[in-house]
Amino acid sequence: MSQREWIEKDFYKELGVSSDASADEIKKAYRKLARDLHPDANPGDTKAEERFKSVSEAHAVLSDPAKRKEYDEARRLFASGGFGRGGFSPGAGGGFSQGGFDINDLFGGGGAAADGLGDLFGGLFNRGAGGGATRTSSRPRRGSDVETETTLEFREATLGVTVPLRLTSPLPCTTCHGSGAKPGTSPRVCPRCNGTGIVSRNQGAFGFSEPCDDCRGTGSIIDSPCEVCHGNGVTNRTRTITVRVPAGVSDGQKIRLAGQGEAGLRGAPSGDLFVTVRVRPDKVFGRNGDDLTVVVPVSYGELVLGTTVSVPTLEGRVGVKIPAGTADGRILRVRGRGVPKRGGGAGDLLVTVKIAVPQKLDDPAVDALKTYLEAEKASGFDPRAGWAGA
């Protein structure tokens, strides 16, 4: 009999009683039918024999209050299609196995798997019926991720650098190599949960899964714990790791180092280490994405006449030509001299020219400037010509 047949089978109808029949009514109905249909009373009658089996089956379930409750529950759920919550499994005591037929025969039947119901019941009932856990893999608890910070100089961050990081965090115990068991002993599989770390608790027709208390969800039991780590398999240790910071990293960026976080309990995988990079501002350079920015002070005369200025780069210096008549504040672009890019190449160097106004000049310079302003006016230059505020 497939599970669908079981659910769809009407045991009440088999016995000819209503679904709210009392225990007494069920008993009476069964006795009469059993007498009438008994093979001894109907030799050679296969039809009667079939009916006799069905009636016995129905009685086995309906005569037991707990089984009857489950059967009713299951049919009610089946009718409403409400199999969604938390799983469904037979109650404690091996489900229906005492009723003369075994739960595995009942639910192991073919045919129902095709409609999806088979999978559902197959998995759930196997677990509840004490036939051994279907899941054997234990669930080791992965170590936590660790976060830390490192501060880099501007040039270190833009060019890339290797920095040592000192960390204190749980690491696998060196005495027991992370197993948590005293050297020479080893943990054994938790008999209660069969190493799964999970147990099913049955409540009526429903089965709930919860972490196993005996092994605290780890799936294994340590009889003689390691004296150094007290059975945890991890100890706090300070270590120094070397972190290679790639070129072009910017302030606030995080670098992930897989497996460098906290060790997992009892040999479980380690977490990851996340390093937040802080970048100190530079006195000369600024950054705009992959472009490096720099401000170059120039004189008025240099902008008017044009010149070449020597500008610092990350790795040296570069001569930047300022054309005659360059406006104050203009940005000149030097290609490929900016911040190195991940995939190769580099951004640009953006040079901003900014006039430096002298606060103090000696007499010859002041005289020369006065003479110049006269000449400038004579040549027809008016700084406020075309100015909207004039």
Interface with Zn ion (CB under 5 A)? 173, 175-176, 190, 192-193, 212, 214-215, 226, 228-229
Which CB atom, from 55 or from 263, has the smaller least distance to Zn ion?
263
Contact 165, 239 (CB under 8 A): no
Tell me the one-letter amino acid at 131: G
Q: Closer CB to Zn ion, residue 214 or residue 290?
A: 214
Cβ distance 274 to 258 under 8 Å? no
* Cα–Cα distance for residue pair 125/103, rounded to 1 Å: 8
Burial class (CB in 10 A: 0-12, 13-18, 19+), 161: middle
Report in angstroms how near the CB of residue 148 gets to Zn ion at its nearest.
25
Q: Give the residue with the Cβ less far from Zn ion, 170 or 261.
A: 170
The CB-of-269 to Zn ion minimum distance in angstroms stands at 17
- Closer CB to Zn ion, 3 or 138, in the complex: 138
**For residue 53, what are the contacts with CB-CB under 8 A and spacing of at least 6?**
none
The least CB distance from residue 185 to Zn ion, in Å, is 11
Shortest CB 176 distance to Zn ion, Å: 3
Largest CA distance in the chain: 141
Give yes or no for a contact between 300 and 274, defined as CB atoms under 8 angstroms apart.
no
Cβ atoms of 96 and 56 within 8 Å: the answer is no
Q: Could you tell me the two tokens for 147? A: 């976060």
Q: How far apart are CA 210 and CA 86, in angstroms?
A: 11
Torsion over CA: 81, 87, 89, 92 (sign): negative
Q: Supply the minimum distance, in Å, between the C-beta of residue 128 and Zn ion.
A: 17
DSSP for 111-160, written as a single string: SSGGGTHHHHHHHHHHHHTTS--S-------PPPPEEEEEEE-HHHHHH-
CB nearer to Zn ion: pick between 15 and 212: 212
**Three-state DSSP string of 228-293:** CCCCCCEEEEEEEEEEEECCCCCCCCEEEECCCCCCCHHHCCCCCEEEEEEECCCCCEEEECCEEE
CB of 294 to Zn ion, least distance (A): 56
* CA-to-CA dists, residue 142 to 240, 250, 265, angstroms: 22, 30, 7
Provide, rounded to whole angstroms, the least separation between the CB of residue 166 and Zn ion.
23
Q: Which is nearer to Zn ion, 2 or 196 (CB)?
A: 196
Nearest to 12 by CA among 24, 29, 32: 29
* Closer residue to Zn ion, CB minimum distance, 183 or 306: 183
CB of 229 to Zn ion, least distance (A): 3
- Closest to Zn ion by CB, 211 or 312: 211
Instruction: Let me know the angle formed at the C-alpha of 203 by 197 and 205, rounded to the nearest 5 degrees.
Output: 110
**By C-beta, is 63 or 175 nearer to Zn ion?**
175
Beta carbon of residue 252, minimum distance to Zn ion (angstroms, whole number): 38
Nearer Cβ to Zn ion (55/171): 171
Please, what is the minimum distance in Å from the beta carbon of residue 132 to Zn ion?
14
The pair of three-digit structure tokens given for residue 9, joined into one six-digit string: 């089978």
Other C-beta atoms within 10 Å of 92: how many?
12
